[in-house]
Structure 1
Amino acid sequence: MKTVLTVVGLLAFSIPYACQGLSPRVIAISLLILLFSYLMLLPSLKPLIATLADNPLLTLLMMYIAASCLWAEQEQTSSMLMVLKFVTFSTFGLYLVTHYTTQGCIRLLVITLSILSVLNLLAVVLVPSFAIHGGVEHTGLWKGISGHKNTLGTLSLLCFVSHVIYFFRGTRKALHVGFVLLNALLLIKCQSTTSLLLTSSLFTFILFILLFKRIRSVALRGFFISSSCLLVLLGLVFAFSYGDAIASEFGKTTTLTGRTEIWQGIAGAIGSHYWFGYGYGSFWANRPSIYANGIRFDLTSSHSGFRDLWIDIGLTGLLATITLVITTLFKFRIGKTDMYTWLTAAVFFLFIVLNNITDSRFLNSLAIYWIIFVVIVIKVQERHRLTVAEKAITTGIQHASITLGTTNRTARKKEPRFPTP
C-alpha cells in the first residue's frame, strides 16, 4: 500500500493540473501529500536528521528557498502557499530517500514515468481536443496530460532512456522494448527539439558507459576516452561553425526559439534583485511582459532553470545550486555493483542539468524535477560517504596488518637463541 501511495504522489507531482498554480485543488492535493509524508517520516526522525546533517548545503538551500517568502514581492498569502508547495515536494523527496534504497527510488521513478507515458497516449486517443495543441501555437502537436509539448517531451525522454538502460540489463526485454517504442512515438509527435537533442545525447552517453565497462584493457580504455572526447570536440566545433545553417534546416534559429531574446529582456530584472532575488515564485506570479528587440513576451518562466533560480532566490541561491551540481557530478561513480541503477541516476541527473540551460526544470515547473534532483544529490552523497568509510576501514586494516607484521618480525629478532647441544 505504501508503494502505491508513493507512486500516486509522484504522479501528482508530474501532472500540471495537480501541482501547478495555487488553485484550491492544487493546495488540497499538496496538503494531503504533505500529511502522508509527515506520517511516514515521523517514526524515522533519526534517519531524517542524519540525512539532513550529511547534506548541509542542500539543507541550507531548501531552508533558504522557504525563507525567501519573507522578502517576496507578492501578496503574502500567495507567497506562503508557494512555500507550502515547496515544503510539500521537498518533504516528499526526503521521505523517498529515507525509506527506499537508490535502486528502490529509481524503480519508483521509472514506474511513475511508465504510467505517465500510457496515460499520455490514452489522453491523445480518447480526448484529442484536450491532449493535442490547438489554436495558433503548436497546432496539431501532442501534449497529452502534461499540458505542453515540451513537458511531454521531457517526461517521455526520461522514460525512454530509462527503459533503454533496463533493456540492456537483460530482464523483461519485451516490456522495455514496448515502452521504448511508445515513448519514441510520443517524442516524435510532440516535436520538442530540445527533448529530441537531449534524447540523442543521453542515448550516446548510455552506449559510451556500457561499452566502456566492457573494455578490460587500460590502454584500450584510454584510447576509447580520447577518441570520444575528440569526436565531441569536433561536433561542437561543427555546431558552432554551421549553427545557423543547421538550425534553418530544421526551421529553427540560433535564438533558440526566442529564448536568447527573453534572456536579454530579463537581464534588468535580475540586476535589480541581484543577490537575493524576488522570492520564490514571486517574479513570475504576475506573469510580467518582457520586451526585447521590440518584441513582447508574455511568460510564466524565462525558459532557463538557472536564470529562474537567479530571479527567485538571487545569485546566492544560484551559486549554492551550481555548487551542489558540481560536487554531485564529481562524486558520481558508476561501478559494477548495481551499474544499471546508477547509470539511470546519472542520466536523470545529466538531464536535469542540461535541460535547465534552455528550459526551466528546477522550481518553476513540475515538482517531479526537483524531487529527482534532491533524491540523486542525497543518494550520491550517501554512497560517497560509505565509500570513504570503507576505504578508511580498509586502509586501517592494512596499516594494522603491516604494523603487526613488523612487530612480529622485531619480536622474532629479539628472541634469545641457544646453541644446539
Structure 2
Amino acid sequence: MKHVLTVAGLLAFSIPYACQGLSPRVITISVLILLFSYTMLLPSLKSLIATLADNPLLTLLTLYIAASCLWAEQEQTSSLLMVLKFLAFSTFGLYLVTHYTTQGCIRLLVVTLSILSILNLLAVLLVPSFAIHGGVEHTGLWKGISGHKNTLGTLSLLSFVSHVIYFFRGKRKVLHIGFILLNALLLIECQSTTSLVLTSSLFVFILFILLFKRIRSIALRGFFISCSCLLVLLGLVLTFTYGDAIASEFGKTTTLTGRTEIWQGIGGAIQSHYWFGHGYGSYWAARPSIYANGIRFDLTSSHSGFRDLWIDVGLTGLLATITLAITTLFKFRIGKADMYTWLTAVVFFLFIVLNNITDSRFLNSLAIYWIIFMVIVIKVQERHKLAVAEKANSTALSTPPLH
C-alpha cells in the first residue's frame, strides 16, 4: 500500500491540474501529501535529521526558498500558499530518500513516468479536444494530460531514456521496447525541439557509458574517450559555424524560438532584485508583460529554469543551486554495483541541468523536477560519504602499526 500511495503522490506532482496554481483542488492535494509525508517521516525522525545534516547546502537552500515569502511582492496569503506547496513536495522528497534505497527511488520514478506515458496516450485517443493543442498556437500538437507540448516532451524524454537503460539491463526487454516506442511516438507528436535534441544527446551519452564500461583495456579506453571528445568538439564547431543554417532547416531560429528576446526583456526584473529575488513564485504570479525589441510577451516563466531561480530567490539562491549541481556531478560514480540504477540517476540529473538552460523545469514548473533533483543530490551524497568512509577504513587497515 505504501508503494501505491508513493506513486500516487509522484503522479500528483507530475500533472499540472494537480500541482500547478493555487486552486482549492491543488492546495487540498498538497495538504494531503504533506500530511502523508509527515506521518511517514515522524517514526524515522533520527534518519531525517541525519539526512538534513549530511546535506547542509540543500537544507539551507530549501529553508531559504521557503523564507522568501517574507519579502515576496504578491499578496501574503498567496505567498504562504506557495510556500505550503513547496514544503509539501520537498517533504515528500525527504520521505522518498529516507524510506527507499537509491534503486527503490529510481524504480518508483520510472514506474510513475511509465504510467504518465500511458495516461498521455489514452488522453489523446479518448479526449483529443483536451489532449491536443487547438486554437492559434501549436495547433494539432499533442500535449496529453501534461497541459503543454513541451511538458509532455520532457516527461516522455525521461521515460524514454530510463527504458533504454533498463532495456540494456537485459530483463523484460519486450516491456521496455514497448515503452521506448510509446515515448518515441509521444516525442514525435508533441514536436518539442528541446526534448528531441536532449533525447538524442542523452541517448548518445548512455551508449557512451555502456560501451566505455565494456572496454577493459586502459589504452582502448583512452582512445575511445579521445575520439568521443573530438566528435563532440566537431559538433560544437559545426553548430557555432552553421547554426543559422541548421536551425532554418528545422524551421527554427538562433533566438531559440524567441527565448533570447525574453531573456533580454527580463533583465530589468533581475537587476531590480538582484541578490534575493522577488520571492518564490511572486514575479510570474503577476503574469507580467515582457517587452524586448518592440515585441510583447505575456508569460508565466522565462523559459529558463536558472533565470527563473534568479528572479525568484536572487543570485544567492541561484549560486547555491549551481554549487549543488556541480558538486553532485563531481561526486557521481557509476560503478559496477547496480550500474543501471546509477546511470539512470546521472541521466536524470543531466536532464535537470541541461534542460533548465533553455526551458523552465525546476521550481517554476511541475514539482516532480525538484523532487528528482532533491532525491539524486541526497542519494549521491549518501554514496559519496560511504565511499569516503570505506577508503578511510581501508587506509587504516593497510597502515602498519607503529612500534
Aligned pair 1:194/2:194, yes or no? yes
- 2: CA distance between counterparts of 1:266 and 1:381? 35
Aligned pair 1:349/2:345, yes or no? no
Query: 1:402-413 alignment to 2 at 5 Å?
Result: 402-403=400-401
Residue 299 of structure 1: aligned partner: 299
- 2: CA distance between counterparts of 1:128 and 1:108? 29
Amino acid corresponding to residue 38 of structure 1 in structure 2: Y
TM-score, normalised via structure 1 length:
0.95
Report the CA distance between 1:184 and its aligned residue: 0.2
- 2: CA distance between counterparts of 1:211 and 1:375? 27
Secondary structure at 1:297 match in 2: strand
Residues 267-321 of structure 1: CA distance to partner in whole angstroms, max 9, x if unpaired?
0110010000000000001100000000000000000000000000000000000
Residue 86 of structure 1: aligned partner: 86
Query: 1:117-266 alignment to 2 at 5 Å?
Result: 117-266=117-266
- 1: CA distance between counterparts of 2:331 and 2:237? 29
Secondary structure at 1:165 match in 2: helix
Report the CA distance between 1:226 and its aligned residue: 1.1
Residue 53 of structure 1: aligned partner: 53
Give the count of matched residue pairs: 403
Residue 393 of structure 1: aligned partner: 393
Residues 231-286 of structure 1: CA distance to partner in whole angstroms, max 9, x if unpaired?
10110010000000000000000000000000000001100100000000000011
Report the CA distance between 1:197 and its aligned residue: 0.1
Residues 44-73 of structure 1: CA distance to partner in whole angstroms, max 9, x if unpaired?
000000000000000000000000000000
- 1: CA distance between counterparts of 2:176 and 2:362? 28
Moved over 6 A (4+): none
- 1: CA distance between counterparts of 2:286 and 2:308? 15
- 1: CA distance between counterparts of 2:286 and 2:307? 17
- 2: CA distance between counterparts of 1:86 and 1:327? 23
Amino acid corresponding to residue 143 of structure 1 in structure 2: K
Residues 80-112 of structure 1: CA distance to partner in whole angstroms, max 9, x if unpaired?
000000000000000000000000000000000
- 2: CA distance between counterparts of 1:275 and 1:224? 44
Aligned pair 1:370/2:370, yes or no? yes
Secondary structure at 1:403 match in 2: coil
- 2: CA distance between counterparts of 1:362 and 1:151? 12
- 2: CA distance between counterparts of 1:192 and 1:373? 22
- 2: CA distance between counterparts of 1:268 and 1:231? 39
Residues 388-412 of structure 1: CA distance to partner in whole angstroms, max 9, x if unpaired?
000000100001xx237xx5xxxxx
Residues 189-218 of structure 1: CA distance to partner in whole angstroms, max 9, x if unpaired?
000000000000000000000000000000
Amino acid corresponding to residue 403 of structure 1 in structure 2: P
Residue 311 of structure 2: aligned partner: 311
Amino acid corresponding to residue 322 of structure 1 in structure 2: I
TM-score, normalised via structure 2 length:
1.00
Residue 109 of structure 2: aligned partner: 109
CA RMSD of aligned residues (A): 0.6
Between the two proteins, what is the percent identity of the paired residues?
A: 88
| Higher Rg | 1
